[in-house]
């Protein structure tokens, strides 16, 4: 997910270049063949320079893996020799948010990057499985495959845009050209989803490569649980909790019990923790039941279907299920099991969420319908616009009231929030988290405004929002760094779409400073302003219309 978030910046940049270039070609009435060549050129340019841009915008420290972990370096070397590919250049991002990604042009100049958080939170086998997954992308030439696939939607879009212009300007056969252009547009929409589907398929192939290379698919499953759901603890947090909660037993008693093979008293603290929170200090991971609870959203909430359709990665729970099948195939017991049938239907919450999500649009349409019912004509723009704006404002207020409840923030933990199945990007759980900021939402990206909080049960991305994107950018560029490493208390709204995150409302620092996200307040102010202006326009327009009729 880190790579996808990082590359979003590149998508925006190249999207702007493509849009400007396409507009210029359209303005000078360039021929279709030139437009197609331009689309291919943009795809080739992105392929050629993206690795260099990523190296520039991310704080990657290039260092031989041998200097970080000699054992992992030997594993990597063995896998590269087995699959006859060059050993990738290795880099590390000093950030507590665990993740890994690869990029490059072809296997010969591939780069493999991990974060410090991955090395701290995952055990040796999990790190090996994640590195093997990234090596799978290199082995399968996914850089090239996805570049070629992504070129197709660009070409189809150009055919649509320039076909529309050609069809309108042609007297003979113009209808046929327009039909081709419209077909190209439909194909363009479909092709984007096909490209995303292909990307998800490549992820499954990389998972399979990791499972076969390490002969340990369960290690990648447990790594995904930690990375995707935040169900992990850093060594520092584990030491703190162990020091506080460890059960003291005599050496003689411990030895006697271990000898009988019934129970090892050294794991007394582990059992206590497992019974309280599902976490085992012995295995440094949560129980299968706790992890399965975190995965239920991916498999049961209807919003997960919407998320995956527009995602380049499969939902983690589906990848974990596929890895479980691979484990069974090689004679191992899958690490996690999730019942396929949910205990209840979640479609009713989904339809309520969808209604609130689109309430501004619904309000706008209802406003226009009411205006039409009152006999307001299109020529009388003021009452029509007022009715539409009034409906829009009321719809915004309804959505904001549903999505941003105040006064109900309750102390919670990451591991207690993640199992919630009914949350979405619109339905939330107001929560208070206490922990340490361990990194940025996009590790290594020096203007990333989102932060990651770690408490004693896990870690979670915190979404920092402001009314204007430039304010978020400035916060990430100049202020976010000072939060890292600080113990904080955060009030916010827990959501999931598809990954779990806490949308920040207030952050309380140890020195008494309070940092507030004003997105909710400004959104309410904008909704109220739209409602008042719409009401005035509507009533004033009706009065003018009534006066004119008299």
Residue-wise pLDDT tens digits, 373-400: 887 766 677 888 899 999 999 999 999 9
Q: What angle, 0 to 180 degrees and rounded to 10, lies between the N-to-C axes of helices 381-403 and 347-357?
A: 140
Catalytic positions = 134
**Tens digit of each residue's pLDDT (9 = 90 or more) over 526-544:** 999 999 999 998 888 777 7
User: pTM for this structure?
Assistant: 0.82
List the chain domain ranges: 2-214, 231-329, 344-550
Provide CB contacts within 8 A for 243, sequence distance 6+. Answer: none
- Name which of 500, 409, 512 is nearest 458 in CA terms: 500
Confidence class of residue 265 from pLDDT cuts 50, 70 and 90? Answer: very low
**Helices in 374-492 by DSSP H: which ranges?**
381-403, 414-417, 469-478
Comparing C-alpha atoms, which of 485, 208, 423 is closest to residue 323?
208
Give CATH superfamily name and number for 344-550.
Bacterial OB-fold (2.40.50.200)
Crossing angle of the two packed helices 124-139 and 70-82, in degrees rounded to 10: 30
Per-residue burial over 271-304, b if 16 or more Cβ lie within 10 Å, else e, is bebbeebbbbbeebbbbbebbbbbbbbbbbbbbb
Q: Are 501 and 429 in contact (CB under 8 A)?
A: no
Print burial letters for 335-362: b (CB count within 10 Å at least 16), e (below 16). Answer: bbebeeeeeeebeebbeebeebbebbeb
- What are the φ and ψ backbone dihedral angles of 162, each rounded to 5 degrees? -80, -25
Q: Which residue has the higher pLDDT, 261 or 212?
A: 212
- Per-residue pLDDT at 246: 35
Measured between alpha carbons, how far is 278 from 262 in angstroms, rounded to an integer?
A: 21
What percentage of the chain exceeds 70 in pLDDT?
A: 81
Digit-coded pLDDT (tens) for 343-374: 899 999 999 999 999 999 999 999 989 888 88
Please give the span between the terminal C-alpha atoms of the chain, in angstroms, as a whole number: 65
The chain-wide mean pLDDT, for the chain, equals: 82
Per residue in 13-43, is it b (16+ CB within 10 Å) or e — as a string?
ebeeebeeebeebeeeebebeebbebbeebb
- The DSSP call for residue 524 is H
pLDDT band at 442 (very low <50, low <70, confident <90, very high): confident
């Amino acid at each position: 997910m880190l790579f996808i978030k990082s590359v979003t910046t590149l998508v925006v940049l190249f999207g702007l270049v493509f849009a400007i270039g396409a507009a210029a070609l359209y303005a000078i009435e360039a021929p279709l063949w030139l437009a197609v060549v331009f689309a291919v050129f943009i795809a080739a340019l992105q392929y050629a320079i993206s690795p260099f841009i990523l190296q520039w915008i991310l704080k990657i420290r290039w260092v031989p893996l041998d200097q970080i972990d000699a054992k992992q370096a030997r594993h990597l070397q063995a896998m590269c020799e087995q699959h006859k590919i060059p050993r990738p250049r290795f880099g590390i991002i000093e950030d507590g948010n665990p993740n890994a990604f690869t990029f490059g042009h072809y296997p010969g100049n591939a780069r493999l990057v991990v974060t410090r958080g991955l090395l701290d939170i995952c055990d040796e086998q999990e790190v090996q499985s994640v590195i093997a997954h990234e090596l799978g992308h290199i082995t399968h030439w996914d850089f090239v495959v996805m570049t070629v696939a992504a070129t197709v939607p660009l070409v189809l879009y150009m055919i649509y845009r320039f076909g529309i212009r050609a069809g309108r300007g042609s007297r003979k056969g113009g209808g046929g050209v327009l039909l081709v252009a419209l077909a190209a547009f439909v194909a363009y929409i479909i092709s984007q989803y096909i490209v995303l589907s292909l990307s998800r398929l490549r992820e499954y192939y990389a998972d399979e490569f990791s499972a076969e290379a390490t002969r340990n698919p369960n290690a990648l499953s447990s790594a995904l649980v930690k990375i995707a759901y935040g169900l992990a603890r850093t060594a520092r947090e584990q030491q703190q909790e162990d020091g506080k909660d460890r059960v003291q037993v005599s050496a003689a008693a411990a030895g006697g019990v271990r000898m009988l093979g019934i129970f090892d008293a050294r794991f007394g603290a582990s059992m206590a923790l497992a019974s309280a929170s599902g976490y085992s200090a012995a295995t440094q991971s949560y129980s299968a039941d706790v992890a399965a609870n975190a995965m239920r959203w991916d498999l049961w909430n209807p919003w997960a279907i919407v998320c995956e359709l527009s995602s380049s990665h499969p939902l983690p729970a589906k990848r974990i299920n596929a890895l479980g099948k691979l484990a069974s195939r090689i004679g191992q017991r899958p690490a996690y099991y999730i019942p396929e049938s949910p205990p209840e239907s979640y479609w009713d919450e989904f339809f309520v969420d969808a209604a609130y999500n689109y309430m501004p649009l619904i309000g706008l349409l209802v406003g226009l319908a009411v205006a039409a019912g009152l006999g307001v004509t299109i020529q009388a723009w003021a009452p029509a616009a007022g009715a539409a704006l009034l409906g829009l404002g009321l719809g915004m207020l309804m959505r904001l009231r549903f999505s941003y409840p105040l006064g109900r923030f309750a102390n919670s933990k990451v591991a207690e929030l993640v199992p919630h199945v009914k949350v979405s990007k619109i339905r939330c759980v107001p929560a208070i988290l206490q922990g340490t900021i361990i990194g940025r939402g996009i590790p290594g990206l020096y203007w990333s405004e989102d932060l990651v909080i770690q408490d004693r049960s896990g870690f979670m991305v915190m979404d920092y929002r402001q009314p204007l994107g430039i304010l978020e950018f400035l916060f990430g560029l100049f202020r976010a760094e000072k939060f890292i490493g600080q113990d904080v208390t955060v009030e916010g709204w827990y959501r999931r779409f598809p990954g779990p995150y806490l949308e920040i409302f207030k952050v309380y620092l140890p020195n008494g400073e309070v940092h507030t996200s004003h997105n909710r307040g400004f959104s309410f102010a904008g909704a109220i302003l739209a409602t008042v202006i719409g009401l005035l326009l509507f009533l004033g327009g009706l009065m003018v219309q009534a006066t004119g009729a008299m």
